[in-house]
Structure 1
Amino acid sequence: MSLDVIIRTIFGVSTGERIAACGRGVRDSIAAFGPLIATFRALQRDFGGFGPWARFRRLLGGVHDLLRQEIAARDPARPGDDILSLLVAARDESGAAMDEQEIVEQLFTMVIAGHETTATALAWAVDELLRRPELLGDLREELRPLGGDPDRLAQSPLLDAVCAETLRLHPLIPLVSRKLLRPFEVGGFLLPAGTGLGACLLLVHLREARYPEPLSFRPQRFLDGKHPPPHEYLPFGGGARRCLGAAFALHEMKVVLATLILEFELELAAAPARTGARRHHRPQGGVPVVRRR
């Protein structure tokens, strides 16, 4: 669902073989970029066209080719309101258009960052809610009078709290890091330029002084306007480099989760122990559910 949403947003369409092929290519590219080649640069070699890196590069090249076809099909003189049309029509202060390769890379980044992260957050939210039938019932009762209107659903205080607590307990990335361009003092230590410095989101979100019983899923901590300051709650990073798609992703998460809750009766197909339940910070094997209308 999240991949369909981001593709519609970027390309402005929901049908068409090229768009479907783009979705397949994105899923295959993500699956091919395994933890080994992501971690060990020595494996990021072609080996004469064989091996996991060569396969990943072929899949990525196929997606890039599809994106170039979509770029070529756009008329800069007749821009639409989708992101691709806006990028094609964009001009800098000298009147120059964006380079095609730059547009391709921007689009691919948006597709990757805009769907897998939201899908992971939704999986954790469903998992947490289905383990708490009373909370799920309370949320359904709050959402039911809103009539399925997306904007009204997104304003639900309890839904907002459930999403906020999901992102607190299950941040999509564990660490945000930067390389220092100049010396920087932190905690009484002077770090030289070139030092890698990281902020661990998970540790920030598990500070008991800010979040009592930090390992417990308690959306109530975010009700009544109790959102903590940005430096103590940062699922989308912070500062000037905070995720540009934060508002979009959170709105999508709320609408999809609310729609699932209102239209279906869901229950966990199995509720195994949570130990070792993460793979790349998403639930290992997904969250199998039984769905009934």
Structure 2
Amino acid sequence: MKFWIISIFIYKLVIADPVPIVLWHGMGDTCCVSVSLGSFKLFLEKNIPGVYVNSLRVGNNTIEDLENGYFMSPNQQIEYVCNLLASDLKLRNGFNAIGFSQGSQFLRGVVQRCGHQLPPIKNLITLGGQHQGVYGLPHCGALQHESCDYVRKLLNYAAYYKWVQKALVQATYWHDPLDEETYKKGSQFLADINNERVINKTYINNLNKLEHFVMIKFDGDSIVQPRGTEWFGFYKPGQAKVMQSLQESALYVKDRLGLKKMDKAGKLVFLSQPGDHLRFSQDWFIKNIINVYLDPKK
């Protein structure tokens, strides 16, 4: 009798509660307002009763959070978030992580850089992420007109200048396939987390601890260029027309990030949606993400 009582107690303590979820928004969005990730947080809470959702706010308020998405170095943001997650007691038994657009590669940076100092990160799910960077900026989110044009010019002609790397977030994952060496030397964020300069074994070990790394690509994406970066693909080096998949890239062939090992273990998951950037239905997300990775008891 005592055995069954103890078993029920353990079930309620360990199994019954849903795994918490951490969200990181993209460029031009913010953590908590209803027109941004605030509504998605409510959607998750409605469809996974009892789940704790931490929608990350980088800054003291939503205005700072939005601005930091443009002007605070990803390296500083990741350090800030690592400390934030480490102090969140509701995550102490582990959590799932969902990144939107540039929040995708930033959350991957969290996994790689401080995953060993955090509770277990079970599944990393990225929607429209730029894992191999971008080469083109057709839309600038909240930045419009003259400001947007100015951002484009900076990225096209001065992305790897130190002051631009420090001043503009998007410059840190600008990937120029026509000049790979300058990219590797100048990129203060992406080239590092993709292990393109030196091999950081901590990055590999932390990433390989994930149960699944799910990448969602939007086939009609008009914002992210090239779209293949959402599945870790990119242009073949030396030109900007012909694409290559992750599996064809040196990153995979040389297994500089452990992705080949993860792929063979069935940990890499490639999903797609036909619409534009971050366009998906709630029904699709419930069926393909919630029921499979976030609340598999369903």
Which interval holds the TM-score relative to the shorter structure?
under 0.3
TM superposition score normalised by structure 1:
0.27
